[in-house]
Amino acid sequence: MIGYFCPRRKSRQRGFTLIELLVVIVIIGVLASVVGPRLFGRADQGKIAAARAQIENFSLALDNYQLDTGNYPSSQQGLAALLNKPSGSPSPQGWRGPYLKARELPTDPWGNSYQYISPGKINKSWYDLYSFGKDGQSGGDGDAADVGNF
């Protein structure tokens, strides 16, 4: 049997046109502009949750300090009293620290120091412990609100 010869057809090159590529890029851009802010907002919520957890850890350490010494550290002694036996008044008789595993005082998730006041202005019978939040300043609302034990 003799095969017959078919001339080759010109093969069409397959691919995407420039317009199709531009449409896809625009769609991806629109999706990123809608989804991106939501994801970044969750990052801020994660930092707020981390600050609350750290404040809870400090609170447990402060309660242990108070059980051992009979007092919370003064505002002057500050949170450093959880790491090193403080000098000054009130004299911490019975100090059995350090009360934190860290070698240095942790900063808040935004890189700022936690604020400690004893006796507190809000919690008058014990202490106020808080972070200034995202904006690093007292007050604020939303993601910039202070995060504390009050």
**Token code pair at residue 40:** 């970044």
Q: For domain 27-86+104-148, give the fold.
A: Glycoprotein, Type 4 Pilin (3.30.700)
Q: Which position has the token pair 């397959």?
A: 14
What are the domain boundaries of the chain?
Answer: 27-86+104-148
Q: Are 26 and 18 in contact (CB under 8 A)?
A: no
- Joined together, the tokens standing for residue 137 give 């300043």
Buried b or exposed e, range 68-104, using 16+ CB within 10 angstroms: ebebbbbeebbbebbbeebeeeeebeebebebbeeee
Cβ atoms of residues 86 and 92 within 8 Å: yes
Write out the chain's pLDDT in tens, 150 residues: 565 655 565 556 677 788 888 888 888 888 887 777 776 666 778 888 999 999 999 999 999 999 999 989 999 999 999 999 988 777 788 999 899 998 899 999 999 999 999 988 888 888 999 999 887 778 777 777 788 888
